[in-house]
Amino acid sequence: MSDARRKYESDGYHVARGIVAAEKIDAFLRTFADVAALQPELQFPIVSTLGYGPLRRVNGFMQDPVFDVHSLGWLRDEFSPIAETALEMMTCDGIKEQLLALDGSDAHTLVMSTFVDRSSGTAPHQDCYYLDSDPQRRLTAAWIALEDIAPEAGRFYVISGSHKKHFDLTAEQLGDFKSYEKLLADYVAARAGDLYSPELKKGDVLFWNSGTVHGAYKPSSETTSRKSFTVHYIPNSVNFVRHYNAEKLTHSGTFARNGIVCRVDRLTAKMPA
């Protein structure tokens, strides 16, 4: 067993430095900016509402994370360059090598992705509340830094060993994510000394297990970006399960990039013309 896998199984997370090439990051950011600037009327799938909306900007920064960047090309042709340059990173050899080292599988499916320009903070949670593998906790998430992440931007944090924690959720907590987040906030407060917030540079990737409690601090600056991807993968030997908001999505198919199968989920909301 590799040192990376031993640490990942023990702690529930792993940091890999500089595994995404800067030129791939620059190509994506340039392409996204070009498409958004040339066609400002375009509406994107938005994470917070799982609906479609324009790119709201404050101080020049996009306020809403964009949902499933990897499959935007399936929505409309104008988005294809964005999706293709994102996939160059999400399916790159460095990511594939790390996934193999961490979970031992040489074949994976990319099941969900988001793009964040500026963070507003993320409530602590385990990904398995929202999505997971079947059997459980074989899903691995990757947080890809698309720039050097400043402390005032609201850095990401994880709690070591929390992937082994199983919460006995009430019916209210299962049905209401706000109630669930309150439970997790209390858990994080009790373990505040165990929070780990790595300094991430452009091209670094933080991997964590679907059971690992994680979140992001609220930014202390209104004018600092935190450009990043969050991407979720499962081994091809397991099934994908979406536990929350499943009714807002419909599975539309798959495609492959660099040996990674990529899942396409369409929002049930009507795509604007």
Q: What is the pLDDT of residues 48-99, one digit of tens each?
A: 899 999 998 888 888 899 999 999 999 999 999 999 999 999 999 999 999 9
CATH number at residue 14: 2.60.120.620
Do the domain assignments include residue 50?
A: yes
Identify the domain containing residue 250 by its residue range.
3-267
Mean pLDDT over the full length of the chain:
95
Classified as helix, coil or strand, 228 is: strand
pLDDT band per the 50, 70, 90 thresholds, residue 271: confident
Burial of 218 (0-12, 13-18, 19+ CB in 10 A): exposed
Q: Is the pLDDT of residue 20 over 90?
A: yes
**CB 3 within 8 Å of CB 57:** no
Q: Which pair of structure tokens corresponds to residue 61? A: 């920064």
Q: How far is residue 81's CA from residue 98's CA, in Å, rounded to a whole number?
A: 26
Q: Is the pLDDT of residue 2 over 90?
A: no
pTM, whole model, 2 decimals? 0.96
Distances (CA, A) of 200 to 105, 119, 143, 228: 26, 15, 10, 10
Please write the tens of the pLDDT for every residue from 154-198.
Answer: 999 999 999 999 999 999 999 999 999 999 999 999 999 999 999
* Residue 247 pLDDT: 94
**CB 228 within 8 Å of CB 34:** no
pLDDT band per the 50, 70, 90 thresholds, residue 273: confident
Q: How many domains does the chain have?
A: 1
Do the domain assignments include residue 273?
A: no
Q: Is the pLDDT of residue 1 over 70?
A: no
* Residue 204 pLDDT: 98
Do the domain assignments include residue 36?
A: yes
* Residue 257 pLDDT: 97
Do the domain assignments include residue 212?
A: yes
pLDDT band per the 50, 70, 90 thresholds, residue 253: very high
Please write the tens of the pLDDT for every residue from 218-242.
Answer: 999 988 999 999 999 999 999 999 9
Q: Is the pLDDT of residue 100 over 70?
A: yes
* Beta-bridge mates of residue 113: 231
Do the domain assignments include residue 242?
A: yes
Do the domain assignments include residue 272?
A: no
